[in-house]
Structure 1
Amino acid sequence: MDKLSSKNYLADGQTDSATDVSIILPIHNEAENINLLYQETKDVLNALGESYEIICVEDGSQDSSLEILKKLSSFDTSLKVIVFKHNFGQTAALSAGISAAQGAVIIPMDADGQNDPRDIPHFLEKIAAGASVVSGWRKHRRDKLFSRVIPSKIANWLIGFITGVKIHDYGCTMKAYRREIIQGVSLYGEMHRFIAAYAAWHGGRVEEIVVNHRPRGSGQTHYGISRTFKVLLDLVVIIFLSKYINRPMHFFGGIGFISFFLGLAAGTASVALKLFHIRDLVATPLPTFSALLLIVGIQLIVLGIIAEMIMRVYYEAQDKKPYQIKAKINF
């Protein structure tokens, strides 16, 4: 592949980045896979002729992953290592790597060997052609059907339906982001999956490519069907944060007013039934519904006021990260 100018990776108004490509590898108990993945990634990046860095975030592994990374980084300064104090999870590891990345293009990958580094040039071609985010699609997945593939398909359909951003595989870690799109985005829970939707909501161009999904090299997967439910819960949060973070009163207050006025309507109806001798108050559930809806409405309006106060504190608070770094290597 011909060398791609890093200027193609930058948005208008952005200054040139010192590094063209940053590869992010969250690592947790992947000692048996690190050496092969490292060599494969190096071979691909060297062939591209781009300047690059490989950032490994060691996420509290219990095996020899850290020792292997220390050895590799001792003779390769392009390999940078962030060491967490203990296990914080994949999203925190990706967030730490993204925050430290210097590349104009940031490409996270799984460290289990299932993502193929030979797909990296295809991502860069799409970015150079103007895409803000390029999402990998594991069209032919090498995972268990009932515990991973089917739940993933259901989750992807729901996410696409709710967000309005139709891509096939939100769960694929291997994506490419322009630096200005992803840096500064706070990631919690499983929210790294929704960056493509976030970018589309803010006018970014999202594209998708089919990637080679390989069988896991060694070790066991850290994820199961329970992760699908966590992703869906995070989806509710990300929609709220994207649309109502600056105006929580519109969300809680809007629902609160609807509940309050329904309560008034139910109360008025129950009184009217009594006055016209149609039905006694004790003979209809309307008074109960009225009291319940009025109370819920008032509570939601008050919650909206509290959320407005918290939102202002949130914007004025210090910039805190959802992780703690024990050490950095080659930074």
Structure 2
Amino acid sequence: MKISVVVPIYNEADNLNQLFDELQAVLKNHEHEIITVNDGSRDNTRSVLNEAASKNKNIKVIHFHGNFGQTAAIFCGIHHSSGDVIVPIDSDLENDPNDIFKMLEKINEGYDVVSGWRKGRWNDQKLRRKLPSMLANKLISKITRVKLNDYGCTLKAYRRSVIKDASLYGEMHRFIPAYASWRGAKVSEVEVDFRPRRKGKSNYGMSRIFKVLLDLVVVKFLDKYMTRPMHFFGGAGFLVFSLGVATGLLTIVLKILGLRDFVDTPLPILCALLVMVGVQLIAMGVLAEMLMRVYFESQNKKPYQIAEKINFE
């Protein structure tokens, strides 16, 4: 069984050599390839990758022309992989390569998708950082009907057969387990180690949770009825919709307190208008996302541009 490890990279030059050493130690007795995708890094990532590839033919390198996002990098790595099992892993050393063994054991038990669960990730974090992630995972599990505790964990293992035809845009890589489950795949979850970042700084902020929830709307829509436009239209739509709801609540409060009657204020009309506009903007976002998907797939285009490939035959 050949293993393809896919490593999306953005400004992680200081962590790469240690990551390669750990991956080689774990995979040395397995047929494998390490596919690294440089997502337009601005640090020394390119030269570090090129040097590593020159010393080890199992390390394959793809350089993007610019920054296209983590999902595009993972999608590209999957597209260029040749293994029976594909394992995406973060390049910041927060994922422990030794946990790949746990995932392979589950794959050998008959599962098609194995997702990592960083159970102790938030133990020492403040509630304002812990709560949004917990709520997002519960909401995603509820909507997709695929219960996972940590959709955001990059470390996962997939049988090639369940993702070979997947098309990924926006932040949708985290929804692959749900996508696969809807199509009959067996999904499992294992606890994995979470290691604090030692070098560099995180390239992902709390705003990512908001974008993920917008992509969740699209994923659910695609599941029920059949790259990033949704982030613009959806963001504006949620904002306007929220203002409409807030206006409606204010109107009710004023009525209860006897300060204003419904006929004495334009707030009810404003509330209805904002809610309708918000819903329309979200709907436009879904339609734009559909058109983007049709555009890419009908012309066989990819949501990234490759500048250079190394060690690919």
TM-score interval (norm. to shorter): 0.7 to 0.9
Q: Residues of 1 paired with 2:106 and 2:112: CA distance?
A: 9
1:243 aligns with 2:241: no
Deviation at 1:312, TM superposition (A): 11
Which stretch of structure 1 is more off in the superposition, 175-184 or 109-118?
A: 175-184
Counterpart position of 2:42: 62
Q: Does 1:72 align with 2:55?
A: no
Q: Which of residues 87, 94, 118 is equivalent to 2:98?
A: 118
Q: Which moved more, 1:140-149 or 1:196-205?
A: 140-149
Provide the secondary structure at the position in 1 that maps to 2:116: strand
Moved over 3 A (4+): 142-148, 309-316
State the one-letter code of the partner of 1:67: S
Seen in structure 2, the aligned counterparts of structure 1 residues 242 and 314 have a Cα distance that, compared at 3 Å, is: farther
Superposition pairs for residues 10-49 of structure 1, below 5 Å? Answer: 20-46=2-28, 49=29
Match status 1:161 vs 2:158: no
What percent of counterpart residues are identical? 55
Residue 300 of structure 2 is matched in structure 1 by 319
Unaligned runs of 5+ in 1: 1-5, 7-19, 246-287
Say whether the 8 Å CA contact 2:296–2:302 is kept in structure 1: no
Deviation of 1:315 after TM superposition, in Å, equals: 9.6
> Is residue 82 of structure 1 aligned with residue 57 of structure 2?
no
| TM-score, normalisation: structure 1 | 0.73
TM-fit CA distance, 1:151: 1.5
Q: Partners of 2:85 and 2:5 in 1: how far apart?
A: 9
Contact 1:25 1:109 (C-alpha < 8 Å) held by counterparts: yes
Following TM superposition, by how much is the alpha carbon of 1:311 offset from its aligned partner in structure 2, in angstroms?
10
What is the rounded CA distance, in whole Å, between the counterparts of 1:315 and 1:188 in structure 2?
A: 10
User: Quick one: which of 88, 97, 103 aligns to 1:108?
Assistant: 88
Higher deviation after alignment, 162-171 or 143-152: 143-152
Unaligned stretches of 5+ in structure 2? 227-268
Q: Is 1:232 paired with 2:213?
A: yes
Q: Is the 8 A contact 2:92 2:197 kept in 1?
A: yes
Query: Residue 147 of structure 1 contacts residue 224 of structure 1 at CA under 8 Å; is this kept in 2?
Result: no
The CA distance in 1 between the partners of 2:187 and 2:171, in whole Å, is: 20
Supply the distance in 1 between the matched residues of 2:297 and 2:137 (Cα, whole angstroms).
35
Shift, 1:145, TM fit:
3.4
Structure 2 partner of 1:328: 309
1:264-275 equivalent positions in 2, closer than 5 A: none
When residues 70 and 311 of structure 1 are mapped into structure 2, their CA distance, relative to the original with a 3 A threshold, is closer
How far, CA to CA, are the matches of 1:237 and 1:53 in structure 2? 33
Tell me by how many angstroms 1:146 deviates.
4.2
Structure 2 CA distance for aligned equivalents of residues 196 and 228 of structure 1: 18
Q: Which secondary structure state, in structure 2, belongs to the residue aligned with residue 151 of structure 1?
A: helix
CA 1:182 to 1:70, structure 2 compared with 1: closer, same or farther past 3 Å?
A: same
2:154 matched to 1:184? no
What is the aligned length?
256
What SS class does the counterpart of residue 103 from structure 1 fall into? coil
- Alpha-carbon distance between aligned partners in 2 of 1:95 and 1:227, rounded to the nearest angstrom: 18
Instruction: Output the CA distance in 1 between the equivalents of 2:217 and 2:300.
Output: 24
Cα deviations by residue, 1:89-131 (Å, 9 ceiling, x for unpaired): 1111101101001000000000000000010111111011110
- Name the CA shift for 1:311/1:113 in 2 (closer, same or farther; >3 Å): closer
Q: Larger C-alpha radius of gyration, 1 or 2? A: 1
